[in-house]
Each structure stands twice: as structure tokens, then as C-alpha cells.
Amino acid sequence: MSLIIGDLAPDFTLANQFGENVTLSDFRGKKPVVLVFYPLSFSGVCTGELCEIRDNFDKFASSDVELLAISVDSKYVQKVFAEHEGYKFSVLADFWPHGQVAKDYGVFLEEHGIANRGTFVIDKDGVLVSKFVTAPGQARSLDEYSRALASLTS
């Protein structure tokens, strides 16, 4: 499934690093959401990307968005990963059914069993307003996030 700008973002409920359920539609009418799919916790590029987000979190806070990072790792791995790296945002486990949310967003790499790096910006109404996906192994840049966040005000 390939989502296009203007589509209603597929709803989901996933456990975060604390074992709490996070449901995308709970943010509807309250605040925009940025979904950051990444392949695996503790891998080099993924850790670097999420640490860059952590270190520049003011970009997201100033846009009053909810940031949700998602990988196929279990909630137990997500807990250790988030604690180890000091992430203050939710790190969600798309563990079972394996990668289903990544599949719903069109970023699951079936042959590898992981999500590709994909970012989806969803407005307060639950509508996709921006997205970008990189090639496997390629990191996203902060500039891409800035451009995507700008789509919330245009």
C-alpha cells in the first residue's frame, strides 16, 4: 500500500517502551503526529538518526507535534534502547503481527523483515500532509524534517 498526500493515515495501536498502548487516532483533533519508521534499535544508522532527533527535539516541540518512532523490535528492546539513548519521545514496537503497521504505511521490507526508513507527517485531522522515505541504508537529514514540519503550516 502506498499512501499519498491527502490520505487519512491508517490507524494503529502499538505498545511503547513502557508497555503502554499508543493509538494514533487518540491524537486526532489534538495535535499533529510525526511517525518515524526505522529498521532496528541499536543499529548504527538508526541510533544516529534518533539521537540527532533527540539532540534537536526543539524542532518538533516548537511545532507542537507528537513524535512516534517505530520499529519491529519488541517493547522490551524498545525500553532498553530508549533508556540507553535518553529518548524522551515514544518508541513503539511494531512487533506482532510482525511489521503490520510498517506494511500499512508501505515501508515494510518483506525480504529483510524490517521497516525501511520512512517519515510520515500527519495533521490534527489525521490526514497525511508530508512523507519521505530513504533508500535502505540511507539516513534522513534534519533538513528533510524541517521541510516536512513546514507542511503543517502551509
46 belongs to the catalytic site: yes
Question: In the structure grid, which three cell numbers stand for residue 72, read together?
Answer: 519491529
Catalytic residue (choose from 33, 34, 40, 46): 46
Does the pTM of the predicted model rise above 0.85?
yes
Q: What pLDDT does 59 receive?
A: 83
17-31 tens-digit pLDDT: 999 999 999 999 999
Greater pLDDT, 153 or 120: 120
Q: CATH code for 34-150?
A: 3.40.30.10
Strand partners, 105: none
- As a whole number, the mean pLDDT across the chain is 93
132-147 tens-digit pLDDT: 999 888 889 888 888 8
Q: What pLDDT does 1 receive?
A: 60
CB contact set of 40 (below 8 Å; sequence gap of 6+): 46, 71, 72, 73, 114
Under the banding of pLDDT at 50, 70 and 90, the label for residue 154 is low
Please write down the HEC assignment for all residues of the chain: CCCCCCCECCCCEEECCCCCEEEHHHHCCCCCEEEEECCCCCCHHHHHHHHHHHHCCHHHHCCCCEEEEEECCCHHHHHHHHHHHCCCCEEEECCCCCCHHHHHCCCEECCCCEECCEEEEECCCCEEEEEEECCCCCCCCHHHHHHHHHCCCC
Average pLDDT rounded to a whole number, residues 92-103: 97
Q: What are the boundaries of each domain within the chain? A: 34-150
